[in-house]
């Protein structure tokens, strides 16, 4: 990444002199990825509602948010990781393994007659701890074993998925708190408790990324690691924190998935790492690091699950999902490249 | 001090493992003594059962059926092998080749791929090792002594019957149903769907399949599909969850939306979790295969074939076992009997 983007959020208006930009309103609009994403999202909702009016309902929005909650959690973590110049492929299997381990814990507690509420709280703590453990392993592999993040997290992706299969012997893990499923029922319009928790976490994470030192360090390391070191940032310690954050959020996503399915499953996070990466890329985070906004990631992940529900409700072959997501990714990256070109011309 | 503790731990570990070995030996030694005296005269036979994934309760039930039959036959030992968790020809072929190198008296095989496992079957025939296929098959059955399987098309048809019964089907009325599949290419899925559709067309024209979807082996995807169907089709009367991931996703969706009992859910396979959900009323009915019976008949056939010196008299080249429908009216005994074994072995 070029140095110019360090410390500068991607969507900050690039306007050395407003006079020059005046005639180019369209270009300025497209430079604001968040605005474009909101338009795309609204356009999709309108389109799907035209195909099947049933789409425009609290019920469908509830379905979209249920799917969105775990993907948003891992995408938030992925945003920090990618902006810091890394990548975390292990989030999908972290959802699986944390959900499975929590499922066993809750199964044991329910069998022992522990109350549902306590079992669920313990389940959430267990899933968080499993996620943090995966994050720790990732950070050690990257910081100490000097593996590039892609390889380090590819290793933990495989190990996590394999261990989940070994632990469960391939089958679902049921027998947990019988009332756990009630938590994924919407309580306020389309919002269920896990969804509300995820929204709160997203706001906090956004503040951390854009308003706190933690975020400034993340942008600095991703923008240029050498100058980050030169300016006195402990890169290793920050990388550790970033992967712990990503792992912990993926662990919580495992618990959210458990609540959705009312059981653990050795394949519940299958392919979710790609959903997380798709969400951050559509949201305007640059895979080369140093650029991105939390709002982009949140809307990006919302677009992903809107497409999923929209295609199902429209009764369109769900295999189109992958095609639509591919087009969105290509469009988002093209937009970024065009904007980069504008940057360079202007500076 | 630390060293001392370590020594105690080590000593305990050693004595524990010795005890385990000893108990393993004694249980192993006690098995032949239970065989009948008439059978003792027979030449001892070793039959190896190679399955898709050895931890799958479906195959464990098959193993149990095979082992029980082996004891009944007398002087027959069944060995059980397969990749622990993965149902894949890439892991199964090396296992089969390893088994063939040990020249067992007979091979029971659940091939994970109709083309990829063909060579292994041909190799077994060339080494004069009789092969009985169970559950799934290879394309060329000419070298196979017998092929014993459940019938997926029949299972789909029986699911249609169970659904119609649950809906209180009356001709002239229309009912909307949805089918959850794993992928467009899994043959067990497509066979079940074909049987289901054919039966609807023949006997229940009022039942319409309004939508189908794929879970890609992920229960969360199945859950998302079914959540959205329940919203998009408020009159949906029934769901046929064609396999395990769809069953898990559908059961959670019905529970979360408070539609248990209102939307009839037909599942497949008597895994313990499914049977538990049937008892709770989440599933209206389950189509159950008979893996233990498959294992039993395969051992019977192989033993007969080998002990008759390779005569095909009275041996059926293909056996198709009917499926069983389990509902809340099924007796507790029958439910327990039909549930696939779930053990650590």
Which residue among A60, A165, A268 places its CB closest to the CB of B219? A268
Contacts of range A141-146, beta carbons closer than 8 Å, 24 or more positions apart: A142/A86, A142/A239, A142/A243, A143/A236, A143/A239, A143/A240
Interface predicted TM-score of the whole assembly (ipTM), two decimals: 0.82
**How many whole angstroms separate alpha carbon B287 and alpha carbon B344?**
25
**How many whole angstroms separate alpha carbon A101 and alpha carbon B94?**
32
Q: Is A116 a domain residue?
A: yes
* Closest C-alpha to A219, from A2, A4, A34, A8: A8
Q: Which of B91, B256, B273 to mutate to test the interface with A (most CBs of A within 10 A)?
A: B256
Gap from B290 CA to chain A (nearest CA, Å): 19
| pLDDT for res B85 | 72
What is the average per-residue pLDDT within B57-68?
Answer: 91
Tell me whether A5 touches chain B (CB under 8 Å): no
* Sign of the dihedral through C-alpha A329, A253, A298, A133: negative
Q: Is A320 a domain residue?
A: yes
**How many whole angstroms separate alpha carbon B236 and alpha carbon A264?**
27
Gap from B316 CA to chain A (nearest CA, Å): 33
| pLDDT for res A338 | 78
Q: How confident is the model at residue B31 (pLDDT cuts 50, 70, 90)?
A: very low
* Closest C-alpha to A327, from A30, A1, A40, A27: A40
The string of pLDDT tens digits covering residues A62-85 is 999 999 999 999 999 999 999 999
Q: Which of B84, B88, B227, B258 to mutate to test the interface with A (most CBs of A within 10 A)?
A: B227
| pLDDT for res A341 | 61
pLDDT for B208 beyond 60? yes
Q: Is A210 a domain residue?
A: yes
A111/B6: higher pLDDT: A111
| pLDDT for res B185 | 73
- Do the Cβ atoms of A172 and B219 come within 8 Å? yes
Gap from B332 CA to chain A (nearest CA, Å): 19
- Do the Cβ atoms of B231 and A54 come within 8 Å? yes
Q: Which residues of chain A, if any, have pLDDT below 50?
A: 1-21, 346-347
- CB–CB of B91/B54 below 8 Å? no
Instruction: Report phi then psi at B213, rounded to 5.
Output: -155, 165
Question: Per CB distance under 8 Å, which residues of B are interface residues toward A?
Answer: 53, 55-57, 84-86, 210-211, 213-214, 216-220, 223-225, 227-232, 234, 244-245, 248-249, 251-252, 255-258, 271, 273, 276-277, 342
Could you tell me what percentage of chain B is helix, strand and coil, using 3-state DSSP and rounding each to the nearest 5? 50, 20, 30
- CB–CB of B107/B279 below 8 Å? no
**Helix A235-261 vs helix A193-211: crossing angle, to nearest 10:** 170
**CATH code, residues B152-288:** 3.40.50.2300
Residue B310 per-residue DSSP state:
S
**How many whole angstroms separate alpha carbon B52 and alpha carbon B48?**
13
> What is the DSSP pairing of strand B76-83 with strand B45-53?
parallel
Tell me how far apart the terminal alpha carbons of chain A are, to the nearest angstrom. Answer: 15
Gap from B252 CA to chain A (nearest CA, Å): 5
- Do the Cβ atoms of B224 and A66 come within 8 Å? yes
The string of pLDDT tens digits covering residues A298-324 is 999 999 999 999 999 998 887 788 888
Sheet with B264-268, strands from edge to edge, namely B207-214, B175-181, B236-241, B264-268, B285-288, B324-327
* Closest chain A residue by Cα to residue B229: A313
* Closest C-alpha to B210, from B233, B231, B226: B233
**How many whole angstroms separate alpha carbon B245 and alpha carbon B186?**
13
Q: Is A7 a domain residue?
A: no
| pLDDT for res B309 | 87
Which residue among A59, A70, A169 places its CB closest to the CB of B85? A169
Residues of chain B in contact with residue A262, where contact means CB-CB under 8 angstroms, are 251-252, 255-256
Domain ranges, ordered by start, for chain B: 40-144+290-322, 152-288
- CB–CB of A183/A259 below 8 Å? yes
Tally A–B CB contacts below 8 A. Answer: 113
**How many whole angstroms separate alpha carbon B52 and alpha carbon B291?**
13
Instruction: Report phi then psi at A92, rounded to 5.
Output: -65, -50
CATH of the domain at A222: 1.10.3470
- The beta strand positions in chain B, using DSSP E, are 45-53, 76-83, 106-109, 131-134, 146-150, 175-181, 207-214, 236-241, 264-268, 285-288, 318-321, 324-327
Beta-bridge partner residues of B178: B211, B239
Residues of chain B in contact with residue A169, where contact means CB-CB under 8 angstroms, are 55-56, 84-85
| pLDDT for res A342 | 57
* Closest chain A residue by Cα to residue B55: A169
What is the average per-residue pLDDT within B136-146?
Answer: 90
**What does A128-180 look like in DSSP terms, one character per residue?**
HHHHHHHHHHHHHHHHTS---HHHHHHHHHHHHHHHHHHHHTTS-B--S-TTG
Beta-bridge partner residues of A284: none
- CB–CB of A78/A206 below 8 Å? no
- Do the Cβ atoms of B232 and A60 come within 8 Å? yes
- The reply to whether B152-288 shares the fold of B40-144+290-322 is yes
Beta-bridge partner residues of B134: B148
What is the average per-residue pLDDT within B219-242?
Answer: 95
Q: Is A197 a domain residue?
A: yes
Contacts of A106 (CB under 8 A, 6+ apart): A119, A120, A122, A123, A176, A177, A180, A258
Residues of chain A in contact with residue B224, where contact means CB-CB under 8 angstroms, are 63, 66-67, 308-309, 312
Domain count of the fold of chain A: 1
Give the three-state DSSP class for B30.
Answer: helix
Gap from A174 CA to chain B (nearest CA, Å): 7
**pTM for the model:** 0.80
- CB–CB of B273/A263 below 8 Å? yes
Which residue among A182, A185, A312 places its CB closest to the CB of B228? A312
The position carrying tokens 């009312």 is A262
Gap from A162 CA to chain B (nearest CA, Å): 9
- Do the Cβ atoms of B248 and A263 come within 8 Å? yes
Find the DSSP H helices in B233-284. 244-256, 272-279
* Closest chain A residue by Cα to residue B54: A169
Q: Is A178 a domain residue?
A: yes
**CATH code, residues B40-144+290-322:** 3.40.50.2300
Q: Which of B229, B231, B249, B340 to mutate to test the interface with A (most CBs of A within 10 A)?
A: B231
What is the average per-residue pLDDT within B32-58?
Answer: 71
What is the average per-residue pLDDT within B96-107?
Answer: 93
Gap from A316 CA to chain B (nearest CA, Å): 9
Element (H, E) at B97: helix B89-101
- Do the Cβ atoms of A181 and B53 come within 8 Å? no
Kindly state the tokens that stand for B250: 């559908």
* Closest C-alpha to B48, from B102, B92, B122: B102
| pLDDT for res B146 | 94
Kindly state the percentage of chain B with pLDDT values over 90: 60
Domain that holds residue A108: 33-338
């Amino acid at each position: 990444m070029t140095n110019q983007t360090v410390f500068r959020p991607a969507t900050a208006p690039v306007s050395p002199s407003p006079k020059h930009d005046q005639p180019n309103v369209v270009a300025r609009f497209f430079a604001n990825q968040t605005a474009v994403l909101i338009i795309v999202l609204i356009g999709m909702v309108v389109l799907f509602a035209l195909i099947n009016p049933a789409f425009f309902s609290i019920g469908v929005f509830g379905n979209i948010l249920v799917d969105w909650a775990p993907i948003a959690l891992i995408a938030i973590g992925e945003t920090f990781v990618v902006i810091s110049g890394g990548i975390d492929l292990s989030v999908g299997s972290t959802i699986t393994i944390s959900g499975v381990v929590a499922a066993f814990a809750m199964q044991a507690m329910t069998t022992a007659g522990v109350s549902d509420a306590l079992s669920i709280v313990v389940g959430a703590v267990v899933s968080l701890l499993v996620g943090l453990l995966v994050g720790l392993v990732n950070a050690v592999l990257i910081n100490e074993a000097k593996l590039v993040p892609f390889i380090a997290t590819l290793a933990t992706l495989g190990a996590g998925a394999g261990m989940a299969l070994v632990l469960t012997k391939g089958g679902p893990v049921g027998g947990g708190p019988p009332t756990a499923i009630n938590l994924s029922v919407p309580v306020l319009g389309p919002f269920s408790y896990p969804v509300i928790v995820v929204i709160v976490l997203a706001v906090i994470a956004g503040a951390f990324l854009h308003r706190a030192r933690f975020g400034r360090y993340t942008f600095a390391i991703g923008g240029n690691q050498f100058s980050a070191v030169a300016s006195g940032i402990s890169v290793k310690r920050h990388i550790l924190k970033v992967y712990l954050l990503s792992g912990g959020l993926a662990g919580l996503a495992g618990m959210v998935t458990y609540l959705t399915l009312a059981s653990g499953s050795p394949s519940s996070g299958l392919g979710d790492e790609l959903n997380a990466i798709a969400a951050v890329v559509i949201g305007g985070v640059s895979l080369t690091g140093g650029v991105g906004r939390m709002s982009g990631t949140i809307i990006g992940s919302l677009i992903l699950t809107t497409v999923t529900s929209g295609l199902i409700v429209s009764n369109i072959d769900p295999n189109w999902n992958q095609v639509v997501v591919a087009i969105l990714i290509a469009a988002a990256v093209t937009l970024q490249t065009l904007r980069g070109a504008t940057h360079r011309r202007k500076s | 001090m630390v060293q001392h503790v370590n020594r105690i731990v080590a000593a305990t570990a050693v004595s524990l493992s010795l005890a385990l070995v000893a108990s393993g030996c004694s249980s192993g030694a006690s098995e032949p003594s239970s065989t009948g005296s008439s059978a003792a005269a027979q030449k001892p036979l070793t039959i190896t059962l190679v399955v898709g994934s050895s931890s799958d309760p479906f195959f464990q039930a098959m193993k149990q059926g095979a082992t029980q039959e082996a004891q009944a036959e007398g002087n027959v030992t069944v060995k059980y092998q397969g990749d622990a968790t993965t149902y894949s020809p890439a892991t199964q072929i090396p296992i089969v080749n390893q088994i063939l190198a040990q020249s067992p008296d007979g091979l029971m095989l659940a091939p994970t791929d109709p083309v990829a496992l063909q060579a292994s079957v041909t190799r077994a025939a060339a080494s004069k090792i009789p092969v009985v296929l169970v559950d799934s098959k290879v394309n060329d059955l000419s070298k196979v002594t017998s092929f014993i399987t459940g019938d997926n098309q029949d299972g789909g048809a029986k699911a249609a019957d169970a659904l119609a019964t649950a809906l209180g089907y009356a001709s002239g009325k229309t009912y909307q149903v949805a089918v959850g599949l794993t992928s467009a290419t899994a043959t067990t899925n497509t066979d079940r769907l074909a049987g289901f559709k054919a039966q609807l067309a023949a006997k229940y024209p009022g039942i319409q399949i309004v939508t189908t979807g794929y879970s890609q082996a992920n229960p969360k995807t199945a859950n998302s599909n079914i959540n959205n169907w329940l919203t998009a089709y408020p009159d949906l009367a029934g769901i046929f969850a064609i396999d395990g991931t769809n069953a898990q996703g559908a059961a959670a969706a019905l529970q979360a939306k408070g539609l248990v009992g209102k939307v009839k859910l037909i599942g497949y396979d008597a895994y313990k979790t499914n049977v538990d959900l049937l008892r709770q009323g989440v599933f209206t009915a389950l189509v159950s295969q008979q893996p233990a019976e498959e294992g039993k008949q395969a051992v019977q056939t192989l033993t007969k074939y080998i002990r008759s010196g390779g005569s095909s008299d009275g041996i059926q080249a293909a056996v198709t076992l009917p499926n069983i429908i389990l509902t809340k009216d099924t007796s507790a005994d029958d439910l327990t009997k039909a549930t696939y074994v779930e053990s650590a072995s």
